[in-house]
A and B are shown apart, each in its own frame.
Chain A
Amino acid sequence: MAAIETERQEPPRPAFYNDPVVRGLFYQFVVGALVIAFIFWIVQNAAVNLAAQNKTTGFDFLWKTAGFGISFSLFPFDRTSFYWEAFLVGLTNTLLVAVIGVILATLLGFTIGIARLSSNWIIARLATVYIETIRNIPLLLQLFFWYFAVLKAMPAVRDSLALPFDMFINQRGLYVPKPLPDEQFFWVYIALALALAASVMISRWAKRQLEATGQRFPVFIVSAAIIVGLTAVVWIVSGASMDFDPPVLNRFNFRGGIELPPEFVALAFGLVIYTAAFIAETVRGGILAVSHGQTEAAQSLGLKDGDRLRLVIVPQAMRVIIPPLTSQYLNLTKNSSLGAAIGYPELVNVFTGTTLNQTGRAIEVIALTMAVYLTFSLTTSAVMNWYNARVALVER
């Protein structure tokens, strides 16, 4: 019986229009061309219609005098400033509330999330009530509540509530003395920076020491001693002095000091309270996603309670927590645009509100504003993705 000769042969080449590679390229080309044509059509159409409506267009307005005032800005702004400066005021005000909001919401969110898993019945219930209440009321309503309800409860300017250390609180905001460091303070800053660097090095050394010998080193106490001690010694030796410019009541309001307007406080407060509820749920989910076996394994290794959380549970939970946490950060940043409703001069209020109306350049202003939020969001995403890649499970 002769063996059946099977000859391996190349499959017949398909016609070029059936070639998957050619087809793939073709479809990509078609999609690309359609997208470009669509964008071109939109731009063209907008230009034609704007011309037909006799509207002036272009970004030249950015270099014209704004002519309006802004109640709260991180740098000087008045009616003689330019529109691009108004844009910058809006942008920095948005950034300010977003950064402070993200930091505080993270702290509060982690606390509440862990509290909800607490074995203490009352603490766990309280956390649940907080989360369920806050998550299920629209943010805009909450902002109105914090702004108008809290504003009403505050004393009028002449009956300002005096707090310790020359601080005052009234309907116009919170006033704290402004620190006025003198020139010698330069050395204190340097000492502080050195002390911080030293404490970072100590904690790294202590970690290596622990891994190598099992010896523990009291990192926290030593670091704190260095930071406080070194700074204090340099402060005294250099003769640096810190003056304070306290707020003083004028005819209408306080002058001097640092002023935090109620719009800012209400917006930051509302955003933190709201976003923390979502972060808390994310944290809870992340911790629950680590199987109980990990805890038991850590216990059987003899790890202390704190080390068990820090070295075993949290690193694994972070993998689950980071992606949704990023979304919450993005939400908080974008939600800050609701500040326009309660008079906080952030980007939407100052730029798409006042500027758009005074200049009538709707498309330009909206496009710039969208570009800003897009940049904020992509930057946040990039940073969080980088962090996520660091904590992600490395498969070996």
Chain B
Amino acid sequence: MSKKIISFALAATLGLTATTAYADILSDVKAKGYLQCGVTGGVAGFSAPDSSNNWSGLEVDFCRAMAAAIFNDSEKVRYTPLTSQERFTALSAGEIDILSRTTTWTMSRDTQLGINFVGTMFYDGQGFMVRKADGIASAKDLSGAAICIESGTTTELNAADYFAANGMEFNAVVFVDQDEVVKAYEDGRCDVYTTDSSALASERSKFANPDDHLILPEIISKEPLGPVVRQGDDLWFNIARWTYFALLEAEELGVTQANVDEQLGSDNPAIKRLLGVEGDFGTPIGLTKDWAYQIVKHIGNYGESYERHVGPSTPIGLARGLNALWRDGGIQYSPPIR
């Protein structure tokens, strides 16, 4: 913990001593040769390291997609695991180039912290997990419960709102580090563990007996999770935003990692524009003409990334739901690339 406080203070000091505004992140990233990406300490499916410290997950894929667009190489990413508390300071101090860490898009964050949200990689909502043995069927039964929460999250506020709105009491036990939150819940310090429902599913998949735990049906908040950049560099913001849209557009057009080379010969003008066969949309944002081709080639499209990391076939097992494309009943939607 003390180490975290030190790095925190350091981050604050760095923010002080940097005398110039961060004008051109793309040039800086190209000069140093890699993208510094802020991630979670390990939320399976979103960003988590394996035993040989290779990071993977839906949000890691976003950083890799940006690296592919910039360097034509999705491996040129370095990861900085951050707690919820550290993330915004690390971003504004310039320790990381992009924050892709299950971060909820809210108005106060977007307008008061000097940051910009790029888009919504994952539409989520806050849920509750309880032990099946406790016989709880609904969040309305939770009055008086002890609830384990991670500090510095929208979760903390949503829980307080929800219990106040329903005239119930609760006892918030707040930890700085997510690992301690989960451990305290497992050890029985709390009746309930609450966070975004995707993260609940992810943590449950890591328990010794996942079937002993139940995620309650109530979703008590809107949690649009997305990547974040610093304010003040519109070019960098555009690169991040259109990397996200390219992932969606590729899925919509049926361009996959497997067929992308084949699709280079497609007659569909939209595909031609996406892959840089017709027109040039990469150069104006400081990239190459085939930027989107590189993204799909290295990462695949949004749907592929989703299926690979959090989809129904994974231990996390989340249906697409709101995160399906607009034409499939979801709300993921990309403006046209033209």
Contact = CB atoms under 8 A, between A and B. Distances in A.
Interface stretch (A148-156, A196-204, A212-220, A293-301): A148-156
Interface in A239-296: 250-253, 255, 261-263
B15 A49 contact: yes
B239 to A, nearest CB: 19
Given A55-B114, A353-B174, A46 B1 contact: no
A151 B16 contact: no
Interface in B67-120: 84-85, 88-89, 92, 108-109, 112-114
Contacts of A340: 1, 151, 176
Interface in A321-370: 337-338, 340-343, 345, 348-349, 352-354, 356-358, 360, 362-363, 366
Say whether chain B's binding surface is mostly helix, strand, loop, or mixed.
mixed
Contacts of A80: 164
B161 interface: yes
Nearest to A52: B21
A366 B145 contact: no
A68 interface: yes
Bin chain A's interface residue count. Answer: 35 or more
A181 interface: no
Interface in A38-76: 42, 45-46, 49-50, 52-56, 67-71
Interface stretch (B58-66, B186-194, B201-209, B244-252): B186-194
Contact of B9 (A67, A261, A366): A366
B152 A354 contact: yes
B16 A358 contact: no
Contact of B187 (A52, A148, A255): A148
Interface in B148-187: 151-153, 156-157, 159-161, 163-164, 170-177, 180, 183-184, 187
| Residue of A68, A140, A154 ringed by the most chain B CB atoms within 10 A | A68
A68 B12 contact: no
A172 interface: yes
A262 B189 contact: yes
A151 B232 contact: no
A78 interface: yes
A67 B157 contact: yes
A18 B48 CA distance: 68
B5 interface: yes
A171 interface: yes
A98 to B, nearest CB: 17
Contacts of B232: 52-54
A253 B146 contact: yes
A366 B322 CA distance: 39
B176 A53 contact: no
B164 A253 contact: no
A79 interface: yes
B231 interface: yes
B174 A349 contact: yes
Nearest to A48: B19
B144 interface: yes
B160 A79 contact: yes
A67 B165 CA distance: 12
A341 B92 contact: no
28 contacts: A42-B16, A49-B15, A49-B19, A49-B21, A50-B114, A53-B92, A53-B114, A53-B230, A53-B231, A54-B114, A69-B172, A79-B160, A151-B188, A251-B143, A252-B145, A261-B173, A340-B1, A340-B176, A341-B1, A341-B176, A349-B176, A353-B152, A354-B151, A357-B85, A358-B152, A360-B113, A362-B15, A363-B12
Interface of B: 1-2, 5, 8-9, 12, 15-19, 21, 84-85, 88-89, 92, 108-109, 112-114, 141-146, 151-153, 156-157, 159-161, 163-164, 170-177, 180, 183-184, 187-189, 191, 230-232
Interface of A: 42, 45-46, 49-50, 52-56, 67-71, 78-80, 140, 148, 151-152, 154, 156, 171-172, 250-253, 255, 261-263, 337-338, 340-343, 345, 348-349, 352-354, 356-358, 360, 362-363, 366
For the complex of A and B, list the 3 residue pairs with the smallest distance between their C-beta atoms, beginning with the closest: A357-B152, A53-B114, A79-B160
Given A252-B146, A338-B1, 5 more contacts: A46-B15, A79-B157, A341-B1, A353-B152, A360-B113
